[in-house]
Structure 1
Amino acid sequence: MTKEEIEKSYSKRFEEIENMLNFIKKNESKIEPKIKPSDKHTADLKKSLNIQKASTILLLYNLMESTVSKAFNNIIDDIKDNNVSYTDVSKPFQKIWLNCNYQDVFDVSASFKTYKNRTEKILENIFSNESNESSDFLLFSNLITPWQLTGGNIETTQIKKLCKNFDVTFNVPQYVSDNASILIDIKNKRNQLAHGDSSFEEIGVAITTADLISWTKEVDAYLKLLIQVTTDFVHEKRYYSRGKVEPI
């Protein structure tokens, strides 16, 4: 996936959020301040807007999760597309290769026999007498379990952890990092909604439209920076080991 494709997908999702915010602002303007709060039409409209505000939280979180997933999958995809093997990538990506090949072994239902069989299979392929088969097995394109993002937990702490695991340098400017903690609040509110701990109206009533506009700007600044550093990482092929760097 190219940087242009990632940005196009991002823009489409971001536009949905902007449309929702415009919808909320437009309908808020219809609420006359002189009308009594007990007026049924006004009460129903306020309730609907609160639900829409909470729904915007879900849109923001989906933007976060989708962007982070695409950003890091883009790195793995580039390694696959270039037929890079385990032996040629840097240590962090060798760990990713191993984690993917052992991921299902750590399922609660997995046994020692499952672990042993997986190890034997990997060793047999690596030390196969037919070197071509061994080399092919070590390619990222032959991962037993594809790398995928764990959903429902995306915020700044998790993103920084992913960057460390992928050896991606993510130096966030002060003007962005000062406001990036809002990603944690958005994740928490999203999980409250997803798990049924709070209703949409309960979440929405505590949020102003100005809050949502501000949060959207903060999320946008953070995610665009992430897209930039990860696509630069792919362009410069920084996943290669230091002893083997392919030309850009």
Structure 2
Amino acid sequence: MLEAVKDEFNKRSEEIDTLYSHIIELDGETNERLRESSVGLISILASSLCLMLYNQVESTAFSCVESIYDSVHERRISFNRLVPGFKKKILNDCKQSYHSVESLMLSFHNNDISEVIARTSLKLEKVFSGNVDARKLREVLGYYHLAVSGPSPLNQGAELLNLKIARNSLAHGSASFEKYGRSLTVSDLDDLRNNIREYMSHVISLTECYLEAEAYLDPSNAA
């Protein structure tokens, strides 16, 4: 379960590690003149690494949400059997995503509405919209009755907020890559890389356990 999510996560981790290795190599240049000429490039690469980390966070968060809907759809779970928060999320999303009852009905393709409405309501581009941090993850996954905790007392996802701020600053142009990257040390990047990886790996594990337990089902409406 979630093998595709894990594979994509690991692939992105390898790409991040490759860039980090290049930053380490440039930062450790023994020739002082060469290192001085690389300072601007190191800063740009540091900012790029932050963007790659944020993209990994958002991609993984998307995939975990999508896997919940996929599981409900594949098991043909009736809307009536879902936990209340999930039901409310589905109805709110349908209200926001479809301009008319007719367009919503067309999306069902003559299938049983109670079994396909969850998958129909999902619009991944609207789930996070460049806004993923630990609080947002807890909020969104909480709709489905999936409780998100930190992997350890020392890692409660604080870095996700800093990463989101970095991503927005770089994406919206309020900070240049070179300027933002100057504020980061190699040690900062290493801590960020490791903590983000630990946190999001934990979120994947929590989602896997949630799906195995079918925790999206309302116990009071068990069939």
Q: Equivalents in 2 of 1:29, 1:184: separation in Å?
A: 29
Q: How do residues 171-186 of structure 1 correspond to structure 2 at under 5 angstroms?
A: 171-172=149-150, 173-177=152-156, 180-186=157-163
Alignment partners' CA distance in 1, 2:195 and 2:119: 36
Q: Deviations over 1:128-180 (max 9, x none)?
A: xxxxx6x7022235754423222210001101111221111223231222xx2
- Aligned ranges 1:1-248 → 2 under 5 Å: 2-32=1-31, 35=32, 41-104=34-97, 114=99, 117-118=100-101, 136-140=112-116, 143-148=119-124, 149-172=127-150, 173-177=152-156, 180-245=157-222
Amino acid at match of 2:145: D
Q: TM-score, normalised by structure 1?
A: 0.80
CA distance in 1, matches of 2:187, 2:119: 46
Cα displacement (A) at 1:240: 1.3
What is the root-mean-square deviation in Å for CA atoms of aligned residues?
A: 2.3
Q: Is the 8 A contact 1:51 1:204 kept in 2?
A: yes
Displacement of 1:104 in angstroms is 2.4
Which one has a bigger Cα radius of gyration?
Answer: 1
**1:128 aligned partner:** none
The 3 A distance-change label for structure 1 pair 160 and 206 is same
Residue identity matched to 1:167: H
- CA contact under 8 A between 2:40 and 2:178: conserved in structure 1? yes
- Counterpart residue type for residue 166 of structure 1: Y
Shift of 1:235: 1.0
Unaligned segments of structure 2, at least 5 residues: none
Cα distance per residue 1:209-237 (max 9 Å; x no partner): 11000111111111111111111111111
SS of 2:154 mapped into structure 1: helix
Q: Percent identity?
A: 22
* Distance in 1 between residues matched to 2:162 and 2:147, nearest whole Å: 24
Distance apart, 1:4 and its partner CA: 2.1
